[in-house]
Structure 1
Amino acid sequence: MILIYTHKITPRIRYIFKHILTRILLIPVGFTSKVEEFVAHNGPKISYTKTALGNEFFIKSHELLFEQGVNDLEINIQKWDNVPCFFATNIKSAIPFDIFAASFYLITRYEEYLPHVKDIHGRYTAEQSLSYKKGFLEKPVVDIWAYKFLEILKKRFPNYEYKNRNYEFISTIDIDNAFAYKYKSLIRSIGGFFNDLFKFRVFDIWNRIAVITNLKGDPFDTFQKLLRFKKEYNVKTIFFFLIGDYTTFDTNVSASKEKYRLLIKEMVDYARVGLHPSYFSMQDPSMLKKEKDRLEGITNMPVSYSRQHYLRFSLPETYQHLIDLEIEEDYSMGYASNVGFRASTCTPFYFYNIDYEIQTPLKVYPFALMDTTLNDYMGLTPKQSLGKIRDLKNEVKAVNGTFITLFHNESLSDYLRWKGWKRLYESMLKIATS
């Protein structure tokens, strides 16, 4: 155990020291604000305060972890070796930056509590974030800082027994549209037919008729392929099912359709299944509860995992709604427009609610990339996407983090906008598991 001395033990200090030391570096940690207890401790110890007590391992503290609420902070990005960092310390400090305060700022999404302009879907945009502006969005800097800190710890406390954590990969699949044409209502099928006709999409009209009349399989029905890959590559896979009522943004098959319900039940037998709360559930906790109850009614199991549709969430309200419904894990932490690390970490972390100044029981699993980001937003080819996937995986592997990807069943279809993308998912699995 490492003992931390600080002049005032705050919830923020407990939260971020445990995240960096215990969750990332696997080092148990204790806290004290009594100088005599700190001096008497024989094991490794660190003082985190304004001035050093003596010649101990000292880190000069930034004010952030002793404050409450949010303030508009001035952030000056500098380099620690070649890694961007901020909140510089002084020459007496064992490390040149207060990585604990800096990590707290990034992981809690402190900047998302400050006034900002939302996009057309009511989302915080990557372009407004510090990591995007300063060019480190694609680096899990919190984990990189932790490992640089570990090297300094090992030199100061060489006899301590340090543990190594293992790299992990999680594949997550969003089911926005389980089927392209099958099991849709008559009105939707007729509407879709006339829409294709109006736009002279002859190929789509033929496919629609062929699928509905069972001459062809539904192109979006790639579930057996996904299960086969899960087994073949021994990959932890989570399926997030959209089962909200039909809206402009929620166009999945109705949850009342027996075939869709059977599909969900089948997935539960082979993989983990979570909720994909519908577009408007972000502002409506009663809608979120209705959808959670609906999924539990289908699976006969409590729903523990969630990812917001369109990645629409607002901090801290959306996460508080999930906590109120006893959701344990959320997988929404990422941007639709950019790949990378929204919270600057590739380590799952507990959501810290700055409004209440408490660590909550909701564990946040940040993802590194999404198929629609690569295709629709960045306009990359499958080959270029593979290079981007490899780069991100290498960043995570370098710090033994958790590499999480977000794909859709549609992107394996080789159909419409996914023409030519059929093999990308399996290629990604090969890279992620190698």
Structure 2
Amino acid sequence: MLVYTPHITPRISYIIQLLNERWQIDVAVTDDLTLFQQSNDVKLVYAEERIDDSSLFLQSTGLLLQHDIRKQYITCFNWEDGKAFFQTTDDVGFDIFSAIFYLITRYEEYLEYEPDEYGRYAHWNSLAWKEGFLHQPIIDVWLMKFEAKLKQRYSLLTTHHSPFTFLPTYDIDIAWSYKHKGLLKTVGAVVMHPSTIAKRLRVLSGKETDPFDSYDWLQQLHEQYALQPIYFFLLAERNNEYDKNISPRKTALQQLIRSTAAKATVAIHPSTESAVNPTALKKEKEILQTIVRKPIPLTRNHYIQFHLPHSYRSLIVNGFTDEYSMGYGTVNGFRASTSHSFLWYDLEKEETTALRVHPFAYMDANSFYELHHSTEEALEEIKKLCSEVQAVNGTFITIFHNHMLGTDPMFKGWKEMYENFVATVISTKERSVEQ
């Protein structure tokens, strides 16, 4: 496919690259009108005005021609049973390229906003939340419908898509509830919670499994359903209000990491301190690499604590290639409005980077702590989000925590809820493949 546009900008090139990746075809862009008119390829015009009637016309509203970051005045309207913005009078009805760019680059996160209690970009600032499409990977929906319009005009156009994928991931913030805490912490916990003495003694003597220990059960679940999970380990050297992990110097934690790495992918879960201290990020990565004796290119920030563009730039400087924090730590849904991974575009530098962003759509902590869902309500939400991703052949990434899948009475039923979901999504996927 050949796209003509009068001015090729880094923003336009980024969208063309995205089309290449999503449709797995060769999409080229040119500003040479003569070359474009002579081409026999599937042709698309992206400009302010229509050039001819033979090419599909997308009207540019100007965002991709800009070279700065400014407040965008956006009005949503109903389009094909959904929402869209940057309305036009072209062959599609809105500037789909600009709309995708605005959402996937997280353009609004570069503007002034009201942070949440942790200083993060709050979901209530986002267009997706305000307009009611946060629970839909709307970019993926748009692209499917846009593709259908192209094929309606150009019957010979052939595209390819990766199949739906379920990717379970786990944040190991506190590896154990009672074990390996050290004498002082154990004594302090007993004083604060004397009712736990008997259970604590049974766990410490090896007569009972630690309430946060769900590792063997998870391994059996992954083997049963042929899953390939990712475990993100918090390895903060200093504890604070939010970083309460067991010391990475503890032999037990190192053994847990090594045994996990032998069966699954392990990654770093940078501490909240690392969000403001680049030295801490570097050190934590080095610790994990030393433990597993191999490079660690994957990361997801603790408490989903990141700010654009500085946090992502820090990841690049420290050699990370894949980032899994793109989601909210308050509600579930699609922060970047897509269920597919994508290369991060640095808006301030106006360049496509090599950092690949993997958006997650569901986190158990959001359901439990923020939304106060019952296990039944949580199961309903996770299934609904998953069905949205299945419909667009995306990747459904979930975040669960080891402590919520253990035996702590506080999280009764969550282990069963998760197993129910996994069984459902795998059986649905298998039926889809058979069809």
1:279 CA drift (Å): 1.1
Distance 1:164 1:283 in 2: 39
2:92: which partner in 1? 95
1:287: which partner in 2? 280
1:389 CA drift (Å): 1.0
Distance 1:318 1:431 in 2: 36
Quick one: percent identity of the two aligned structures? 38
Distance 2:198 2:96 in 1: 59
* TM-score, normalised via structure 2 length: 0.96
Mapping for residues 406-417 of structure 1, pairs under 5 Å: 406-417=399-410
- Which segment is superposed worse, 118-127 or 317-326? 118-127
2:156: which partner in 1? 159
1:48: which partner in 2? 46
Give the counterpart of 2:130 among 128, 133, 140: 133
Name the amino acid aligned to 1:132.
Answer: W
1:160 CA drift (Å): 2.1
1:423: which partner in 2? 416
Answer yes or no: is the 8 Å Cα contact 1:307–1:332 preserved in 2: yes
1:188 CA drift (Å): 1.2
1:169: which partner in 2? 166
SS in 1 for 2:177: coil
Alpha carbons of structure 1 residues 422 and 414: separation in structure 2 relative to 1, 3 Å: farther
Answer yes or no: is the 8 Å Cα contact 1:77–1:85 preserved in 2: yes
Give yes or no for the alignment of 1:39 onto 2:37: yes
Distance 1:313 1:389 in 2: 24
Give the counterpart of 2:193 among 193, 196, 207: 196
2:431: which partner in 1? none
Distance 1:191 1:108 in 2: 46
Distance 2:380 2:177 in 1: 29
Answer yes or no: is the 8 Å Cα contact 1:414–1:420 preserved in 2: no
Mapping for residues 14-413 of structure 1, pairs under 5 Å: 14-19=13-18, 21-55=19-53, 56-90=55-89, 93-197=90-194, 202=195, 204-245=196-237, 246-413=239-406
1:416 CA drift (Å): 3.8
1:119 CA drift (Å): 1.6
Q: Deviations over 1:201-225 (max 9, x none)?
A: x1x3322222122221111111111
SS in 2 for 1:263: helix
Q: Deviations over 1:103-127 (max 9, x none)?
A: 1100011000001121221111111
1:431 CA drift (Å): 2.6
Answer yes or no: is the 8 Å Cα contact 1:24–1:143 preserved in 2: no
Alpha carbons of structure 1 residues 161 and 81: separation in structure 2 relative to 1, 3 Å: closer
Unaligned runs of 5+ residues in structure 2 are 429-435
Name the amino acid aligned to 1:43.
Answer: D
1:6: which partner in 2? 5
SS in 2 for 1:422: helix
SS in 1 for 2:72: coil
1:163 CA drift (Å): 2.1
Q: Deviations over 1:311-363 (max 9, x none)?
A: 00000101100000110111101111111000000010111100100111110
Distance 2:344 2:91 in 1: 29
Distance 1:240 1:432 in 2: 23
2:432: which partner in 1? none
Distance 1:131 1:160 in 2: 31
Answer yes or no: is the 8 Å Cα contact 1:25–1:147 preserved in 2: no
Distance 2:197 2:111 in 1: 48
SS in 1 for 2:191: helix
Distance 1:162 1:413 in 2: 44
Distance 1:357 1:159 in 2: 35
- Which segment is superposed worse, 115-124 or 6-15? 115-124
1:28 CA drift (Å): 1.9
Q: Deviations over 1:367-397 (max 9, x none)?
A: 0100111111111111111111111111001
Name the amino acid aligned to 1:241.
Answer: F
Answer yes or no: is the 8 Å Cα contact 2:231–2:265 preserved in 1: yes
1:158 CA drift (Å): 0.2
Distance 1:289 1:169 in 2: 30
Alpha carbons of structure 1 residues 209 and 69: separation in structure 2 relative to 1, 3 Å: farther
Unaligned runs of 5+ residues in structure 1 are none
1:408 CA drift (Å): 0.6
SS in 1 for 2:352: strand
Q: Deviations over 1:401-432 (max 9, x none)?
A: 11100001111113142122221221121233
Distance 2:260 2:161 in 1: 34
User: What number of residue pairs does the alignment pair up?
Assistant: 425
- Which segment is superposed worse, 50-59 or 170-179? 50-59
